[in-house]
Amino acid sequence: MTQPHEGAAEVPVEPVKPPETAGGARHSGKFDAVPKLKRTRVSGTWIAVIVALVVLVFLLVFILQNQDTATVHFLGMSGSMPLAVAMLFSVIAGGAVVALVGGARILQLRKQAKKSRHLQR
């Protein structure tokens, strides 16, 4: 293969050979994939901490922007507190109810799984 240029001598161009790997085998020409790192519990925890911090910042902004006093009535009791704090208490109470129901269901499923493993033996 030669490429003539004006005023230049023709120089033969040889094709480039791929480098040989250990053992004399030729390289496939494809890029070697970088090994994918496994996710660990620590990395999952790190992501959860970052998400929790972002949520807490938004919660703090919400509380600081909603300082209007609200009167709250519950089970015959009444009191006044900032609106955001009252809403925060209601969210915490709702989360506690969901956690209790979910925990009861998990215990129920564990008991059922233990019983079925015992019967399979």
Count of structural domains within the chain:
1
At 60-77, the pLDDT tens digits run 888 888 888 889 888 988
Please give the Cα distance from 24 to 30 (Å, whole number): 17
Flag whether 2 is in a domain.
Answer: no
What pTM does this model have? 0.47
The strand ranges marked E within 1-121 are 69-74, 77-82
Residue pair 43/50 in contact by the 8 Å Cβ criterion: no
Domain that holds residue 105: 42-66+83-117
Residue 89 lies in a domain: yes
Nearest to 67 by CA among 82, 80, 78, 79: 82
Per residue in 35-67, pLDDT tens? 776 777 777 788 889 999 999 899 888 888 888
For residue 7, being part of any structural domain is answered with: no
Q: DSSP for 79-101?
A: EEEEHHHHHHHHHHHHHHHHHHH
Residue 18 has a pLDDT of 58
Residue 32 lies in a domain: no
What does the pLDDT average to over 9-20? Answer: 63
Angle between helices 41-65 and 83-120 (to 10 degrees): 150
Residue 36 falls inside a structural domain: no
Q: Is residue 87 part of a domain?
A: yes
Task: Report residue 11 as tokens.
Answer: 């120089």
Note whether residue 58 is domain-resident: yes
The predicted pLDDT at position 104 comes to 94
**Within a domain: 17:** no
Mean pLDDT of 13-27: 60
Task: Give the count of beta carbons closer than 10 Å to the beta carbon of residue 77.
Answer: 7
